[in-house]
Amino acid sequence: MYHPETFETQTILQNVSNINDTKGCSPLYTLLYNKEMNYLETVEYLFNSAPLFQQVGKEAYKEGLTNTLILDHHFNHPHKHFRSIHIAGTNGKGSCSHTLAAILQSAGYKTGLYTSPHLIDFRERIRVNGEPIPEQYVIDFVKNEKDFFEPLHPSFFELTTALAFQYFAEQKVEVAVIEVGLGGRLDCTNIIHPDLSIITNISLDHTQFLGNSLAEIAAEKAGIIKTNRPVIIGESNDETAPVFSDKAKKENAPIIWAETEQHVLSSSPSPKGGRLYETKLYTHLFGELGGTYQIPNTNTILTATEELKKLGFHITEEDIRKGFSEVCKITNFMGRWQLLRTNPTLVCDAGHNVGGIKYITEQLNLQTCDQLHIVLGMVSDKDIDSVLKLLPKNAIYYFTKATVKRAMDEYSLQKKAEQKGLRGNTYPNVLSATKAALTVASSNDFIFVGGSCFIVADLLNNLDRL
């Protein structure tokens, strides 16, 4: 990969220095020169001037690290001022990132956490010791740095990554848990040289960018494996394991297979929500995150904590127990098998691809209820047919769409779902669909809302209107 000190990057920097003008800028960019923006206006500016992938999809995707390296050079390589843990994978990145950050924070480390996407507020993406980045810092960053970054036309994620690393450095965090945005090899976060890399698992997702086979996707995610730095593989199969082994060997990186370590011996739902685990090292370990898909995540996290101890991190059993049991409180984690109300039970989950929906369907099939209701929406660039094949046919469906450009309209989703034997009515938005389900459901029914992180975001943004 490139390094900021290379001749090529220096040449890019010289070329960029000559294009600092405001021609062709968006109206919101021009607004910057005319008035002071508040936080909401600043975030709107970021969304409009630097396209947001979660909103518009492939149009916002920029392959390569050129802009990231230029921004990193401009800010004097802030990522070199803190230790880091880098987490990639198709599913489980968020759960692993938040739980590890909660454990490290419980152990007394000043901990940065960089994740995506956000569900309610942009500031969810960048946290220090669980606290989101201050609104004023975001305002000042855009105001003070706009003259430099605007001519680069960076993507939203490129700019947000630079903001996160700069904030972590200024806050003097001791360690930052960094979640990959998309892929790994060419992801903006991949300029770091972490103490530990983690790849949770591989399934087919973002195939238009990462490849059409598990091996191709694994090769992109294996790009975060760094020379002489250990990597943990959470889950693998015959197609992906050789890819990880070859890359680790090439980089002389110690590789640890979490499935071989097998820390989790058994698991069961907890009566108070969450899950109880029996592990090789800890009996009756309670995890606040409750989905069945947390079982492999927990195995990966426990493998990671043991490796972090070997790397000099002082982590006790008490720290691990607190991190697992209070992860949502410590990091304000949302949208992972999140219980919103009872009688009837209302749960949401942001799982959105085949790998994630497989686990969600298993969880739904375990529910003992009179009737299952599913509020469902998806984005159009996912493998919708494969997801629909997995979903239970005994549910009443409420087809809807999220408030993003990538959202599939509810009528098209209904038509596709009917071909798979899934029946239900259409609703123009998540709020109306969820209200309809709550109106029909009896006290012993179960309502699930999901199919996309944007569906969950719309629900969480409207809870006070249910």
pLDDT digits (tens, 9 = 90+) for 381-397: 778 999 999 999 999 99
DSSP 459: H
Give the model confidence (pLDDT) of 257-269 as tens digits. Answer: 999 999 999 999 9
287 token code pair: 């995890």
CA distance 424 to 417: 9
Helix H or strand E segment including 438: helix 430-440
Domain 7-331 shares a fold with domain 338-465: no
Report whether pLDDT(16) > 70: no
pLDDT band at 121 (very low <50, low <70, confident <90, very high): very high
Q: What is residue 28's predicted lDDT score, i.e. its pLDDT?
A: 43
Average pLDDT over residues 230-238: 96
Q: Which CATH superfamily is domain 7-331 in?
A: Mur-like, catalytic domain (3.40.1190.10)
CA distance 466 to 343: 14
Q: What is residue 55's predicted lDDT score, i.e. its pLDDT?
A: 46
Report whether pLDDT(12) > 90: no
Report whether pLDDT(95) > 90: yes
What's the whole-model pTM score? 0.87
Distance of CA 400 to CAs 10, 380, 410, Å?
Answer: 49, 13, 5
Average pLDDT over residues 267-282: 92
395 token code pair: 């549910």
23 token code pair: 């021609």
CA distance 82 to 187: 19
Distance of CA 272 to CAs 98, 214, 320, Å?
Answer: 21, 37, 19
In CATH, the number for domain 338-465 is: 3.90.190.20
* Residue pair 444/369 in contact by the 8 Å Cβ criterion: yes
Q: Is the peptide bond before 117 cis (omega within 30 degrees of 0)?
A: yes
* Residue pair 340/332 in contact by the 8 Å Cβ criterion: no
74 token code pair: 């401009």
Q: How many CB atoms lie within 10 A of CB 288?
A: 22
| Domain spans of the chain, in order of start | 7-331, 338-465
Give the model confidence (pLDDT) of 405-464 as tens digits. Answer: 889 999 999 999 999 999 999 999 999 999 999 999 999 999 999 999 999 999 999 999
Q: What is residue 14's predicted lDDT score, i.e. its pLDDT?
A: 43
pLDDT band at 210 (very low <50, low <70, confident <90, very high): low
Distance of CA 393 to CAs 374, 388, 416, 424, Å?
Answer: 10, 10, 13, 11
* Residue pair 73/13 in contact by the 8 Å Cβ criterion: yes
* Residue pair 313/104 in contact by the 8 Å Cβ criterion: yes
DSSP 125: G
Average pLDDT over residues 12-34: 43
